[in-house]
Amino acid sequence: MKRLFILVISIAALMTGCDDSTHYKISGHISNAEGQYVYLDKLKVSSSENVDSVKLGRSGAFEFDGIVQHPTFFLLKLSERNFITLLVDSAEQVQVSGDAANFSRDYLVTGSEGSALVQQLNQRLSRTKHQLDSISSLHVLFRNDPNYPALKKKWEEEYNEVVEKQIEFSQNFVTSHPFSMANVLALYQKFDNDNFVIQDIQSLKTAASALNSFYPESEHVKALYANTIKLMQDERSARLQKLIQEQGENSPEIVLPNPDGKEIALSSLRGKYVLLHFWSSQDRGSRIMNPVLVELYKKYNRKGFEIYQVSIDENRYEWIDAIDQDKLSWINVGDMEGSRTAVLNYNVQQVPFNYLLDEEGVVIARDLKGPALDKLLSAELN
């Protein structure tokens, strides 16, 4: 019986210890706020959710506690404009103190490394914005001064220098704290002109990847990771468009094997109008599109129209079987590894997807469906 009692006590202690591992506490005092409420809101990706509130007495003391599974952003606020941002991890005992009059600008936080980093980020950007505002105000004050042109140049140089120092600080911050959730804030900070402080895609990619490996369940990290992927895709698309504009005669080369193993280059079709079409034998939309392409191929092939169809399949049998079933008589290629290089070079994000190239290999249209493709080919080849 005694052993059973000891076992129960041990289990209870273990369970209590587990609870403590995710149990945070935020406490402290705010002076000159007697009778006011202080609110604790959980900061979500696009909104906030009230967690708790307490009415402050003469001492201004408050205390909140709860459970988090990973570092979480909170707003500790007296009003919609008078608040601070905290980044609280499990088991942290956070202490906050300040005065109600300037709570959002001047407060002391201890017991939370993430919250201290958030304060550092916010205060640095606040100082930068104040400097930029001061420089901007000089333009208004001295606009009618005879020396304004010379002064304007000087102030613009000072303005740009302040901006560059802020960018350098923020990028160094992200590099120095690769696994801190504070990086989420650093990467979303903006100047007053609504431009992001950090616009370097590589910094964004590195931080998003690091945080995703540590906190994959955080909604903030999920959003950051998704935004990073989209920005990378947009950048890739922009590079492709630039390539098309600057080197219009050359669309990115593709050399892939056909079902017989013979490698066929896209550039070998110069002199013809070519539909570069990406598809998959397992994709329903691709299979629905194939009969439309068959009809268009019969209609325009003799007039100088060719199809170079790139498969993103990884199963050779299914690919060849689909070619036979759909009676695809044009050039079909694929490496049975997803044809990833071609997909990346042409920024293909879904199938079916296509580009129409003219006789010199210049991309003249993209993602054309049946009627639109028929109309354009008729205009070009008749």
pLDDT in tens, 170-202: 999 999 998 999 999 999 999 998 899 998 888
The pLDDT of residue 4: 41
Place of tokens 């990467």: 187
DSSP for 55-88, written as a single string: E--TT-EEEEEEE-SS-EEEEEESSSSSEEEEEE
**Contact present, 85 and 43 (Cβ < 8 Å):** yes
For residue 27, what are the CA distances in angstroms to 22, 252, 375? 16, 60, 69
* 22-111 and 255-381 have identical folds: no
- Band of residue 21 on the pLDDT scale cut at 50, 70, 90: low
Task: Using a pLDDT cut of 90, give the percent of the chain over it.
Answer: 71
The pLDDT of residue 245: 54
pLDDT tens, 62-96? 999 999 999 999 999 999 999 999 999 999 999 99
**Contact present, 381 and 356 (Cβ < 8 Å):** no
The pLDDT of residue 239: 64
Instruction: Find the helix or strand (DSSP H, E) in which 171 lies.
Output: helix 148-176
Find the largest Cα–Cα distance for the chain.
98
* Third-level CATH fold of 255-381: Glutaredoxin (3.40.30)
**Contact present, 189 and 125 (Cβ < 8 Å):** yes
- Band of residue 230 on the pLDDT scale cut at 50, 70, 90: confident
Start-to-end Cα distance in the chain? 97
Place of tokens 């042109």: 149
Burial 315-324 (b: 16+ CB within 10 A, else e): eeeebbebbe
pLDDT tens, 309-361? 999 999 999 999 999 999 999 999 999 999 999 998 888 889 999 999 999 88
Which of 236, 233, 256, 237 is closest to 313 using CA atoms? 256
Residue that wins the pLDDT comparison between 38 and 200: 38
233 has pLDDT over 80: no
Coil vs helix vs strand at 263: strand
The pLDDT of residue 249: 45
Residue 90, judged by CB atoms within 10 A of its CB (0-12, 13-18, 19+), counts as middle
Cis omega (within 30 of 0) on the bond before 291?
Answer: no
26 has pLDDT over 50: yes
Look up the CATH superfamily of 22-111.
Carboxypeptidase-like, regulatory domain (2.60.40.1120)
Give me the chain's average pLDDT, please: 89
Q: Which of 50-59, 74-83, 227-236 has the lowest mean pLDDT?
A: 227-236
366 has pLDDT over 60: yes
To the question of pTM greater than 0.75 for the whole model, the response is no
Task: Using a pLDDT cut of 70, give the percent of the chain over it.
Answer: 90
In the chain, where the domains are located: 22-111, 118-241, 255-381
Measure CA 174 to chain center: 15
pLDDT tens, 238-274? 666 665 555 444 578 899 999 999 999 999 999 999 9
- Band of residue 113 on the pLDDT scale cut at 50, 70, 90: very high
151 has pLDDT over 60: yes
